[in-house]
Chains A and B, each alone.
Chain A
Amino acid sequence: AQSVAQPEDQVNVAEGNPLTVKCTYSVSGNPYLFWYVQYPNRGLQFLLKYITGDNLVKGSYGFEAEFNKSQTSFHLKKPSALVSDSALYFCAVRSPNRLAFGKGNQVVVIP
């Protein structure tokens, strides 16, 4: 079965510093990978996806993700974090006709 792992529970970063949220995947075949963000008491919002093509995927709100096939990783990145980026971030893989989510990473951006 397709799956993703998010090894860190919480990521703390100072405002203005680069933000990285890690995700590794385990799939058979080509992976279709996604990042979603969840603000408190809200549903999930789509950030970006990788299906094929460039390994660097650009998404919403200044986020981007780097697909690395050799390391089976799909890390989410933002060059300069904002306090408003504090939220829960989920990596997901298509598995098939459904999404399998990781456990999530709490991101805390410190002013």
Chain B
Amino acid sequence: DAGVTQSPTHLIKTRGQQVTLRCSPKSGHDTVSWYQQALGQGPQFIFQYYEEEERQRGNFPDRFSGHQFPNYSSELNVNALLLGDSALYLCASSWGRNTGELFFGEGSRLTVL
């Protein structure tokens, strides 16, 4: 049973560029949440997708957007990258929106130069 898979694992971008991160949820899960973890910090909630719609959003600007596909996989897009966007981006999946136990992927480490 595959767990949550994320790609790419590492990437380097320059300021102003755009990035797309991908996530496949654990088998049987229909809800995907994205978190940003800056160095030395706890994960911060970006948004949650359920039934292909953004259901909840944390305190992140509109430069952060996402999508969920019919197979429940998800993408996180960040436009106009800033140095401060450098972080580990974690995808978490669950069954249903009512967050119980979240299953996390290994993360995508983004470095913005």
Same assembly: yes
Q: Could you list which residues of chain A lie within 8 angstroms of chain B, going by C-beta atoms?
A: 32, 34, 36, 41-46, 49, 51, 90, 92, 94, 96-104
Q: Which residue of B lies closest to A43 (CB)?
A: B104
Q: Which residues of A contact B45 (CB under 8 A)?
A: 98-100
Q: Which residue of B lies closest to A91 (CB)?
A: B42
We find that the number of chain B residues with CB closer than 8 angstroms to chain A is: 26
Q: Could you list which residues of chain B lie within 8 angstroms of chain A, going by C-beta atoms?
A: 4, 33, 40-45, 48, 55-56, 58, 90, 92, 97-107, 109
Are B98 and A43 neighbours in the complex by a CB distance under 8 Å? no
Say which residue of B4, B33, B100 sits within 8 Å of A49 (CB atoms).
Answer: B100
Q: Which residues of B contact A41 (CB under 8 A)?
A: 106, 109
Q: How far does the alpha carbon of A92 sit from the alpha carbon of B101 in the complex, in Å?
A: 11
Q: Which residue of B lies closest to A100 (CB)?
A: B45
With A43-B4, A97-B56, A97-B97 as known contacts, state yes or no: A103 contacts B103, CB within 8 Å. Answer: no
Given A42-B107, A101-B42, 10 additional A-B pairs, CB 8 A: A32-B100, A42-B106, A43-B104, A49-B100, A49-B101, A97-B97, A99-B43, A101-B43, A102-B42, A104-B41
